[in-house]
Structure 1
Amino acid sequence: MPGAFQYRPKFVDIRVRPPSEEDLRAEDVHALKPGERACDHPGCRRAATARAPKSRDLLHEHYWFCQPHAAEYNRNWNFFAGLSEDEIRRRQEDELKTGGRPTWEMKAGRMSRESAAFVHKFAKGQGGYKDYHELFGGQARHGRAPEPEARRLGKIERNALADLDLDENADGPRIRARYTELVRRLHPDTNQGDRSGEHRLQRVIRAYQALRKAGMV
């Protein structure tokens, strides 16, 4: 092969020189990266990765520590430091009842305009409010007694009551008494073997079963 086309490497050795011992000693292994903050523990140059409250009265203000110093701070943290036994017991009761949060009464003052308006309406039974059962001061005499709620019956229940010759307001005892009366009247054993009422007897039995299924008996 002609010498003009032979490969001649431009660099004889392209290996990277390893750092010397002096370079390693000069390098700061705890140097902070952009966006990191230093640990708040005195003399620590590590990056802060955990936060801890400054005190029980400053729970929204925090120290920033590296992980080892955060663990040390948590081990020595005492929320009730400086409190007496009675204060500690009272704080624990508040924590159980309200979660340690402040509470307020959800009502207007006795002398407020809203309270006076409510008392006026309450006394006259206005605003659609009636104390029929005299639970709040005997207001039943100022209004009409509540009307009984109408029974809601389906077609099957209405037909069953009609087969028993009962109206729609019949209750359980009336239904049972009427059923017993019709069975005694229509059953062949009580009519000297007369089977002329068997068809009506079957309708009565089906009607009674339908009413039992509907929970009316």
Structure 2
Amino acid sequence: MKLDSKLFDGIRIKPASGKTAARPAAQRCAWAGCEAEGTHKAPKGRNREGQFHHFCIDHVRLYNKSYNYFSGMGDDDIAAYQKDSLTGHRPTWTMGVNSAGEQRERVRSHATRDWSGGVQDPFDMFDGTAGRAREPEKPKRHIKTLERKSFDTLELNGTETSVEIKSRYKSLVKIYHPDANGGDRSYEDKLAEIIQAYNFLKAAGFC
């Protein structure tokens, strides 16, 4: 360290050469006509955060009594501001984003989408069913608890034909398969449930 530096001199018990630290010039009170020293800070108001007036003790008290951060704002604007302040005025999102309910909407809106050529399909999972002959409907039968759960997983009501069940299964696989989500594997558990439900219904003779 340089022994003659300003910083070093500032921490001496006794400044060298009789030097004394210069005291910053006192700021005058911002109140009109007041000649006192402005020793107290007071905020300038909304949209001027971080800016302050400097008042003497008497005038800062007068200023604080009449200070209103929401001056000029309507009741609705004040309520909205106070609500936003609960989250620090940061954006928020509704809980449940990317939930199963939202995925069901994606299924419905993308059910007719042509996925040919856009997805690698070595096991022919995504082959289309257009033009195939419709299979005759089987007589309705009582649906058991596990069967009902499997239909719910496939977002079906249990009255669908074999062709409709297969079609819905393929539509769901298209939605949740990693290849259809840019390699995102966050839906692998959901995809596993869909495959398990379809295999259960297939083994039960529904498709």
Q: What is the TM-score with the length of structure 1 in the denominator?
A: 0.31
RCO greater where, 1 or 2, for CA within 8 Å and sep 6 or more? 2
Q: What is the TM-score with the length of structure 2 in the denominator?
A: 0.32
